[in-house]
Chains A and B, each alone.
Chain A
């Protein structure tokens, strides 16, 4: 079945993941150190983040060697967080535009509702 007997992995795999996490964290830090901006920055941040998250979960937390039933029960539910992120992103855009519309004390006029009806 599973459990203790299959947890006798050679130490080398832990050393490799350890070094890899160090290197990838170094890359993450380099993104900030060299002040990369824009889409490149965000892409690199996310890529390095997911690489680190994958190796921590898969190797350090032994998820690769767990039974499928446990893998599905633990790894599937967090996927739905993506929907939550999407919903809240829409909501924050709306909040931001509302603030721009009603709380900005300047003559800045947002143009997002230009339907052409005025002209």
Chain B
């Protein structure tokens, strides 16, 4: 049995020996459902896209001579006449985290084959995501109409603030919008028994979840670097 050590190594999936065996096995390297592996590879490429955006933002911010606007004040909301710094962004952050939580529960319920719960938790996630996009539209409107910020111009200082802001939050908002549509499609397919007819497989809920958590993950970085820095 010359295959025995190799098989053993493949079985031990959580060790470096297992990783080497997986890569060198001259066959399927990732012993996970193909959809999950593909989603992860897509998310890796997306990581690089957002990395380049944030690095571009860093580059312009470090090299401008005009003052960079104080995000804390720009994104403040007035509550009872008193401006609270960054309040809108904080609410958006908590909404996205909540949606990540409901999504994690949906994945768990999916694996327990609790169709109804999975459906409603995914719908809740999508609703939270949609409200996030709604608040972002409010934020954009405020900045464009009231403050007069444009991708090429910014009355509060460095023009690059406008370009970086619209590019980074716009691309993220696009991801959230796409995610809401994706989640709703999967949710309704869970409900109408589409996955039951395909062998009762709810892996797709986890794959959709990966995408959703990634959107939340990107927001963590945008929140830290763009809004707080």
Residues of A within 8 A of B (CB): 1-4, 7-9, 11, 14, 17-18, 21-22, 25, 28-29, 31-33, 35, 41-42, 45-46, 48-49, 52-53, 56-57, 59-62, 66-74, 77-78, 81, 84-85, 88-89, 91-93, 95-96, 99-100, 103-104
Contact = CB atoms under 8 A, between A and B. Distances in A.
Nearest to A46: B224
Contact of A60 (B47, B100, B111, B224): B100
Given A33-B85, A100-B65, A49 B224 contact: yes
B174 interface: no
Q: Is the interface of A mostly helix, strand, loop or mixed?
A: helix
Given A7-B111, A18-B101, A74-B44, A68 B15 contact: yes
A45 B62 contact: no
Nearest to A94: B63
Interface string B104-116: 1101100110000
B2 interface: no
A67 B63 contact: no
Closest 7 CB pairs of A and B: A92-B62, A69-B22, A95-B63, A67-B13, A68-B19, A49-B224, A18-B101
B93 interface: yes
A68 B13 contact: yes
B220 A53 contact: yes
B157 to A, nearest CB: 15
Interface residues of B, number: 66
B58 A28 contact: no
A67 B223 CA distance: 30
Given A9-B108, A29-B90, A48-B224, A56 B47 contact: no
A85 B224 contact: no
Contacts of B103: 60
A32 B44 contact: no
Contacts, number: 175
Interface in B46-81: 47-48, 51-52, 55, 58-65, 72
Contacts of B72: 32, 35
B30 A4 contact: no
Interface string B200-229: 011100100110011011001101100111
Nearest to B14: A68
Contacts of B203: 3-4
B121 to A, nearest CB: 11
Contact of B93 (A1, A29, A59, A61): A29
B93 A25 contact: yes
Nearest to B101: A18
Contacts of B100: 18, 21, 56, 60
B19 A69 contact: yes
Contacts of A48: 224
Given A2-B13, A42-B229, A56-B216, A73 B30 contact: yes
